[in-house]
Each structure stands twice: as structure tokens, then as C-alpha cells.
Amino acid sequence: MTYNLNIPGWMTENDLRILYKLASCVPENGNILEVGSFLGRSTSALFSGKPPGAHLVTIDKFELSTDYPIDIDQTYLKGSEQLLNEAQYIASTTGSWLEAFRHCITPQIADQITINAISSQEYRLVNSFDMVFLDASHVMNDLVDDIEKFVKPTTLLVGDDFEFRKPGIPMGICSVRKKTLWFNRTLIVPENSKLWVMVPSTGYWKQLFQTNILV
């Protein structure tokens, strides 16, 4: 199985390839969390890459907002224009992006993951995650709150939009790296990518990254 490049979103094919590769390294029966899904472009890569026994959980409010209106800004948007039109129609008739998300990733995949149509603050954390992908709020304090809530010392932390137009991301990363828990984490920004990765200083992911898994 491979990820669906037709799903509308801003992530490049290279970024999706990296997500797919990282998800494939999650331990069998592990758990992956995605915070911020929109129409599922990154969700598809995570689901397609993960081992069959691993579980994917997504969190997104899926609400129509100033950031995600029906006539969303298509600058840099990738994927199928037809699928986007279908998603916009569904969102306009339901008043939410949720059913459009399910349509884009396909109901078959949607039924195999856990979808939470709430904010990350509202999510009740029960289990820990082996890998967490953050692509929701780009406000520094929101990013820090999500990291502190969802990431354990042995969790692989991945995020999007490490760039000058989103200063809250690098500022948030710098903020958590100052804290004892994050001090020894290795920060990686892959070539030709806006993704960022923070590798734990010990454990499974530390050993795996020593094998150059992103090559």
C-alpha cells in the first residue's frame, strides 16, 4: 500500500515519503498520534506506512474557520482539484470538514483509525504514543502545550512547517529544548523538507536513527 497523493494538502511528496518511512519504523502493535489532519494528506502517509498491528489516532477539530474556510486559500495546495471540490461540497453541506476528511482518506481507512473531532486540549490522554506528529496550531505556546501533553521521554516527535513564515514552530522547539526532559534530544530537519524531528536521547528511536533510517 502507498499513500494517496490526490488528497488535498500542503505537504510535498518528499515530506510524505519521510512520514511514511518514520511510520514504518514504529514497533508492531505501537501507537501513532497525529494532531492536525485537515483532509488527510499526512494521515494517508502515516496509515500506509505503519505496521499492520500499529494503531493511528488523529485529533482535529475539523471546524470551518478563518484558517480553514470553504473557499480555502489554495496557494501551495497540492493534490487533486476534483477531490478538493468534492471535499468543499461535503463541508459546505455538513458544516464541518470531518466527513470531507473521511471521504478523502476513504471510509475503509477511516474505520481503521481513531478519529477525534476535538481540540488537543480536550483530548483525554489514556495511552502513550510511540510516535507523535504535530501539525495543528503554529502558535508557540500551543505547540509547547501539545509536546508536554503527548510526548514521553522515549516518544519520537515529528512536526511540520519548520520555516521562517511560521516562527512559532522554531520558537516552541527552542522553548522545550531548554527544559531538562528535552535537553539531550537530537533535532533533525531533513534536506528539502519543512518537517522537523526530535529524537530521544535513549531507547528504541535513538538506536534506530544511528542506522540512518532517513537515507
Q: In this structure, which long-range contacts are made by residues 11-18, counting pairs with CB atoms below 8 Å and at least 24 apart in sequence? A: 11/41, 11/42, 11/45, 11/78, 11/160, 12/78, 12/193, 12/194, 14/192, 14/193, 15/42, 15/160, 15/193, 15/194, 15/195, 16/41, 16/42, 16/44, 16/45, 17/45, 18/190, 18/193, 18/195, 18/214
The pLDDT of residue 182 is 61
Domain ranges of the chain: 13-209
Domain 13-209 in CATH: superfamily?
Vaccinia Virus protein VP39 (3.40.50.150)
The pLDDT of residue 181 is 61
The pLDDT of residue 36 is 97
Q: What's the farthest any 2 CA atoms get from each other in the chain? A: 49
Predicted structure pTM score: 0.95
The pLDDT of residue 57 is 98
Residue spans of the chain under pLDDT 50: none
Q: Which DSSP state fits 200?
A: -
